[in-house]
Chains A and B, each alone.
Chain A
Amino acid sequence: MSLAEQIVTDQPAEGWVTADGRQIGPVMMEMRNITLRFGGVEAIKDISFDIRQGEIRAIIGPNGAGKSSMLNVISGFYNPQEGEVWFHGQRRPRMRPYEVARQGVARTFQNIALFEGMTVLDNVMTGRLNHMKAGVFRQALWFGRAEREEIENREKVERIIDFLEIQSIRKTPVARLPYGLKKRVELARALAAEPKLLLLDEPMAGMNVEEKEDMSRFILDVNDEFGTTIALIEHDMGVVMDLSDRVVVMDYGRKIGDGTPDEVRSNQDVIDAYLGVAHD
């Protein structure tokens, strides 16, 4: 038995309540023996883990460990050669990313992927596209259903703008914003889709301490207020350990640890992977 499996603690199937009073529910998404290859390179090697309803789940690991690939498997961008993805108790067939998005999975990107020339408001509105049903014709002329939908969706978007405290840049083109705010706008757009599962690819990368604190606060608030399940990749260990309920540790495409932050922190394989180990 590998160390990775040893440290998985006994977890009741129906979930539990955390020390700070948050409800962790049953398993929402399960990755079973996922293997992902690019030609001869194995980016992910036989990895299994689950994401529970309402939890903040972190995926960590050194550079090139396969974290972003893992996130891309979850979001449907990559389809693994082996293994199964189970979502809400059902095996997920091969899906295109937009189909996954319709199932309630939204994400942000490591390198910000916003429409730079559009305003913050318009960018966030694009997050609502999956919720708009009116046809091109009506949308172009803005009447009937299109008008109603836009008003409804705008209200949802305004609540998110209020929640993330970006009112003052509502009408500002994204290109004019500093980096930290762009990250926040990206989060806003992902939230606008009202996801059940939110994937964050390095939400704090390149931020200063204050911006990191703000972002951490928002992530916790999103989880708390909307009950959104969050899976995130992050390099800042302090942030990961503070935010997450459970952590998956990857190295060279393998899972080397899985458990609560405390369990992971004391795992020898994890320490070796991060600090390096003397080969004798």
Chain B
Amino acid sequence: MRDISHAAGGPVNSVPALLERNAKTWPDRTAYREKEFGIWQSWTWAETREEVRDLALGLLDLGVQPGDFIAIIGTNRPHLYWAIPAAQMVGAVPVPLYSDSAAEEMAYVLDHCGARFVVAEDQEQVDKVIEVKPQLPALEHILYLDPRGMRKYDHAHLHDYGQVQQQGRAARDALTPEMERRTAALGPEDICVMLYTSGTTGKPKGVVLSNSNIIETSKNSSEFDNLGPGEEVLAYLPMAWVGDFIFSIGQAYWSGFCVNCPESETTLATDLREIGPSYYFAPPRVFETQLTNVMIRMEDAGRFKKWLFDKCMAHARQVGGRMLDGQRVELADQLKYRLGELLIYGPLKDTLGLRRIRVGYTAGEAIGPEIFDFYRALGINLKQLYGQTEASVFITQQPDGEVRSDTVGVASPGVELKIAESGEVFYRSPGVFQLYYKNPESTASTKDPEGWVATGDAGFIEEGSGHLRIIDRAKDVGKMADGSLFAPKYVENKLKFFPNILEAVVFGNGRETCTAFINIDLTAVGNWAERNNIAYSSYQELAGHPQVLETIRSHVEQVNRSVAEDEMLSGCQIHRFLVLHKELDADDGEMTRTRKVRRKIIEEKYADLIAALYDGSGQVSTRTEVTYEDGRKGHISATLKLCDAAVMDRGAERVAAE
């Protein structure tokens, strides 16, 4: 349970103040863990404070001024996390960047905020910064954490992280008063962090969040889920993402979590299993991949094991979710579930590393009901939330006992919701961002003077439960020719819930009927082909296989039935579809780096295919330009079969089937 006394020492206005409080309250409790050299190394809160202090003093020694921006580039590592409070302690603003972004993308952000300092993880990141340094007049010093390969570099403006700490320690007596003065001056309205949005449209925007944004949000959300000291989290999502900032800094400092950093990206599954986090966040894709792997492995298991698994899972699906929601379940069923826990659920959760989860969240995209229910059935308290960088994450979240796959929950504590006439969702909360850095026009168009922020998403509040349901991006929602609502993402998500379908793009804005492009999932369909002795040599060949098309058709028709049930959206049923001859790819500009489809570009690029879907022809030949990973271009030609799908009647109106 949460220890209330730790908030009693007076108001805490900043992350460094929280650090100070934690080091006093729990000096010997583990604050950070990192697996290195095969062993989990750990730091207590008291040790963390010393490390952060040394770094802050070192930064001061290098000449950091209040208001300077300090970029932090790298994967999740304790030392990089420490750079955040260290920067704040000397009055600077930390700006975590995506470590996988290319040098030019980095150059834009570094130039936009005018960073004077960079804290980089290793040679790879330093090289990128050095490459673009000539375009960055403001940039002065680069600190690096991993000295490997750095010996030959010119060290005039390049510093070893450990040495900077050492210099800070050496100058402790002289510099401490100045550092303490700057730390004490931090107020609730001062900037806590600046996070760049990934930018699905246009250039990234720098979202400025204040100390009170972060602390208020962390406090509210920690109370919402009863998060307290002793919680274990695994920090594996990009540091530049607001979610990681809230989970691994905001809530972790407020509640006193232990933040665990994995050994490397490739050891993530093992590290997750070893740590067994009690509070966990993952995007739907992660849960989806995990489930697909479990299912593929179970296909290969022995007959008895498979039978037992199926039997237990069937039972879990019936009662697991209800037991988790605290509903009444018959004693016999409870006992059966216990037995299942012993034989299947427990060991499975152990293997997945999800055994100890008390609170798990997913967000970012819609999650398939089957996937969601699978984890809930196992007894994992997986919930959904809806958030944005501009809101310091939380807009809505699902309270325990009210969890469903098709809503995103009720307004988070302190958040007010409003649905505009257009259907767009607006919110106002203590977490609402201050401004977009150097971009008053965008700030004004997103946030009105009363503090209401436009989410850009269309949705509605469900009557009765009060839960918010998101339909689609507001700008993508349109009207069909007959005036009914067109929400492509709503239908696409339903399609994507089938393991065989990786991506779907639905068209139909302003038209009579809807049509769709489908991408098959090579892992799932390839596995099926292998089992059924179907030979194929390429994605293209498999995608055009008649049996595959037939399977996809049955999926589409199932989606049509489900869409038809919703009166508002029944116009969005898919009349014709095709399976694309190539995977939609970020390298071709068809998707963003975070794998969101770029509708406009796809519409232009494949205009011939769309035309064919609407002119009733049976097949179409096309030639598509593709970009290889190294930037070279090539072409693929294909003849695609266009398929019809049965649609359901919608109310009085009748639409011909086939």
Contact = CB atoms under 8 A, between A and B. Distances in A.
Nearest to A165: B264
A159 B148 CA distance: 12
Contacts of A206: none
A224 B151 contact: yes
A224 B152 contact: yes
B617 to A, nearest CB: 42
B149 interface: yes
Interface in A212-248: 221, 224-225
A224 B37 contact: no
A168 B148 contact: no
Minimum-distance CB pairs A-B, first 9: A158-B37, A168-B266, A168-B267, A158-B38, A21-B152, A167-B263, A167-B267, A167-B264, A162-B37
| Most chain A beta carbons < 10 A, residue from B36, B38, B151 | B38
Contacts of A154: 38
A10 interface: no
Contact of B37 (A155, A165, A225): A155
Nearest to B263: A167
B135 interface: no
Contacts of A73: none
A113 B601 CA distance: 52
Contact of B148 (A22, A167, A170, A225): A225
Contacts, number: 33
B25 interface: no
Interface in B258-290: 263-264, 266-267, 270
A224 B37 CA distance: 21
A168 B152 contact: no
Contact of B152 (A20, A163, A165): A20
A168 B264 contact: yes
Interface string A146-186: 00000000110011011101011010000000000000000
Given A21-B152, A224-B151, A224-B152, A161 B38 contact: yes
Interface string B129-161: 000000000000000000011011000000000
B270 A168 contact: yes
Contacts of A165: 264
Given A158-B37, A168-B270, A170-B38, A163 B264 contact: no
Contacts of B149: 221, 224-225
A128 to B, nearest CB: 15
7 contacts: A154-B38, A155-B37, A158-B37, A159-B37, A161-B37, A161-B38, A221-B149
Contacts of B266: 167-168
A160 to B, nearest CB: 10
Nearest to A21: B152
Contacts of A22: 152
A158 B37 CA distance: 5
A233 to B, nearest CB: 25
Interface of B: 36-39, 148-149, 151-152, 263-264, 266-267, 270
Contacts of A158: 37-39
A94 B152 CA distance: 40
Given A155-B37, A167-B38, A224-B151, 10 more contacts: A21-B152, A22-B152, A159-B37, A161-B37, A161-B38, A163-B148, A165-B264, A167-B264, A225-B148, A225-B149
Contacts of A168: 264, 266-267, 270
B296 to A, nearest CB: 17
Contacts of B151: 224-225
Contacts of A162: 36-37
Nearest to B264: A167
Interface in A176-215: none
A240 B47 CA distance: 48
B78 to A, nearest CB: 16
Contacts of B264: 165, 167-168
Contacts of A161: 37-38
Nearest to A168: B266
Nearest to A154: B38
B497 to A, nearest CB: 30
Nearest to B148: A225
Contacts of B267: 167-168
Nearest to B38: A158
Contacts of B38: 154, 158, 161, 167, 170
Nearest to B267: A168
Nearest to A163: B148
B156 to A, nearest CB: 15
Contacts of A225: 148-149, 151
A225 B266 CA distance: 24
B269 to A, nearest CB: 9
A154 B151 CA distance: 26
Interface in A108-159: 154-155, 158-159
A137 B348 CA distance: 41
Contacts of B263: 167
B152 A221 contact: no
B77 to A, nearest CB: 13
Nearest to A169: B266
B127 to A, nearest CB: 13
A172 to B, nearest CB: 11
